[in-house]
Chain A
Amino acid sequence: MTEMVRADNVHKAFGSLEVLKGIDLVVQQGEVCCVLGPSGSGKSTFLRCINHLEKINAGRILVDGDLIGYQERGGKLHELGEKDVARQRQSIGMVFQRFNLFPHMTVLQNVMEAPCRVKSENKSVVRDRAVSLLDQVGLGAKKENYPGQLSGGQQQRVAIARALAMRPKLMLFDEPTSALDPELVGEVLDTMKDLARDGMTMVVVTHEIGFAREVGDSLIFMDGGVVVEQGPPREVIANPRETRTKAFLSKVL
Chain B
Amino acid sequence: MTTEQQETERARPEPIKAVPVRHPGRWVLIAVLAILAAMFIHLLVTNDRFRWSFIFLHYQDGKRGVMFTEPVLEGLRGTILLTITSMVIGIVLGVIIAIMRLSPNRILSSVAWIYTWFFRAVPRLVLAVLFGNLNILWDRIGFGLPFDHQIGKLFGINDLNAQFYSIKASDLLAGFVAGMLALGLSEGAYMAEIVRAGIQSIDPGQAEAAHALGMSRQLVLRRVVLPQAMRVIVPPTGNEVIAMVKDTSLVAFVPVTFELFFQLNQISARTFVVLPVLVAALIWYLIICSVLMVGQFFVERHFSRGYGSTGRARQRLRDIEVEQGGRITGEAS
Binding site for B on A (CB under 8 A): 51, 53, 82-83, 86-90, 92-94, 96, 98, 100-106, 113-114, 117-118, 137-142, 145-149, 151, 154, 157, 159, 162-163, 166, 187, 190-191
Contacts and interface: CB of A to CB of B under 8 A. Distances in A.
B216 interface: yes
A118 B224 contact: no
Contacts of B212: 51, 53, 89, 92-94, 163
Interface string B80-116: 0000000000000000000000000000000000000
A100 B213 contact: no
Interface in B189-219: 203, 205-206, 208-217, 219
A113 B211 CA distance: 12
B208 A53 contact: yes
A73 B214 CA distance: 24
Interface of B: 203, 205-206, 208-217, 219, 223-224, 227-228, 303, 305-307, 311-312, 315, 330-333
B209 A113 contact: no
Contact of B216 (A51, A82, A137): A82
9 contacts: A100-B205, A102-B209, A104-B303, A113-B223, A114-B215, A137-B333, A139-B333, A145-B315, A159-B209
B205 A117 contact: no
A88 B211 CA distance: 11
Contact of B206 (A86, A100, A163): A100
Contact of A149 (B211, B303, B312): B312
A169 B312 CA distance: 36
The list of the 3 closest CB pairs from A to B, nearest first, reads A138-B333, A90-B214, A100-B209
A146 B214 contact: no
A190 B333 contact: yes
Contacts of B210: 102, 114
Given A145-B315, A157-B333, A105 B214 contact: no
A148 B312 contact: yes
Contacts of B217: 82
Contacts of A146: 305-307, 311
Contacts of B303: 104
B312 A104 contact: no
Contacts of A53: 208, 211-212
A92 B212 CA distance: 8
